[in-house]
Amino acid sequence: MIPKPDQALINQLVELRKTLHRHPELSGKEAQTASRIKKFLKETKPDQLIEKLGGNGLLALFDSGQPGAELLLRCDTDALPIQEVNDFAHRSENDGVAHKCGHDGHTAILAGVAALLGRHRPKTGRVALLFQPDEETGRGAEKVLHDEAFAALNPDMVFALHNLPGFDEKAVVVKKGSFASASKGMIITLKGKSSHAAHPEQGNSPVKVVTGLLDGLPNIPNMKESFEDFCLVTIIHAHLGEKAFGTSPGDAVVMATLRSYLDDDMEKLTAMAEYLVDHLCRKYDIASEIHYTEVFPATVSDPEALELVKNAARQNQSQLLEIDEPFRWSEDFGHFTMQYPGALFGLGAGKDHPGLHNNHYDFNDNIIETGVNIFMNIIRQKNKFDV
């Protein structure tokens, strides 16, 4: 028998979700969010509750006391710097900050799993529920994995979900191999020599390097023979000099997002982008520095873990959709799937639902119960239940 949420619990989870939506916090600043989650988790009486994991993270451990598999289920808790435009009662009360990716809903789902595990402990092994902060920047997973408190865990498998607007409501979406893309932000700082605009020959403007990068970086993925699968470079910002008509610029910055379905292709894409920068800077005698930010590895599904998700969907009589192409967006759960066998799966939010990061978006509470049931079915397959 698989424990399932009753209507009273569903109502409680929806209220938690709406409370989190009213009080969103940006990446790395989720202290009050963590406090609200902690209050809920304490009522579930986990065997261990670890606070401030990787910053504002929480981990609730439910231990059978018997040998068996150790599973880690993870959700994300941070919000986005997007202005709320909806006018419903639970709209964001924090100006310029809102849950527009559904992390409030992901958190409510995992809180539901905690509530059921509090009533029905796993029969074998143990289950760790991670409420992870700082996902949107790509830093949260790494900080959790490098936290000393996390060293006490040794997951056999890791799982997470993400709601997916554009897919049938409550459908479970899976993908063999890469589910979400690798990506990184590339920041190229250029330094030449400024001069009077009347005598540009007395300086050394980086303008030719900038124009070369604006044209060349997005074209690297067109060298398809160099890559195994899809790659993309998107210029997201460029700045050259200042608004001074009397000055030929000496400094510039070019920023781009590198994206690929495969981690191996990301290594090649990065090397080729760096080569282009070096080539242009040597040609025009411009100094350069390259930095990276918001680094996300590809989120790759392990075959056995993926089969557990698919079995869980069938057990729940959920619609199961297997997609052919990975999503172009990234998820820092990829840091977990690099170290442990695991799977990230999607949960359809409705075909006509506003998209992720859209300022009209709000999490679809109708899918909370399905999310809880899928996670509980995964646990059942590895840990059983003492019901």
CA distance 208 to 118: 63
Q: What pTM does this model have? A: 0.94
Range list of β-strands (E), 120-165:
126-132, 157-165
Residue range 297-314: average pLDDT? 98
What's the pLDDT at 384?
Answer: 86
User: What average pLDDT does the structure give for the chain?
Assistant: 97
Position 387 pLDDT exceeds 70 = no
Q: Do 273 and 373 lie in a common domain?
A: no
Residue 172, C-beta contacts closer than 8 angstroms, at least 6 positions apart: 309, 310, 312, 313, 316, 318, 319, 320, 321, 345, 346, 347, 348, 370, 374
Residue 268 located in a structural domain: yes
Q: Do 52 and 158 lie in a common domain?
A: yes
Q: Do 152 and 31 lie in a common domain?
A: yes
State the CATH number of the domain containing residue 221.
3.30.70.360
State the CATH number of the domain containing residue 122.
3.40.630.10
Residue 375 located in a structural domain: yes
Q: Do 285 and 314 lie in a common domain?
A: no
Amino acid letter for position 39: K
Nearest to 239 by CA among 250, 252, 251, 255: 252
Q: Do 279 and 324 lie in a common domain?
A: no
What's the pLDDT at 318?
Answer: 98
Helix (H, G, I), strand (E, B) or coil at 142: helix
CA distance 364 to 372: 14
Q: Do 257 and 306 lie in a common domain?
A: no
Helical ranges in 120-242 per DSSP H: 140-145, 207-216
Nearest to 252 by CA among 196, 210, 193, 194: 210
CA distance 337 to 343: 7
Helix (H, G, I), strand (E, B) or coil at 326: coil
What's the pLDDT at 386?
Answer: 64
Q: Do 201 and 345 lie in a common domain?
A: no
pLDDT band, very low/low/confident/very high, at 58 (cuts 50, 70, 90): very high
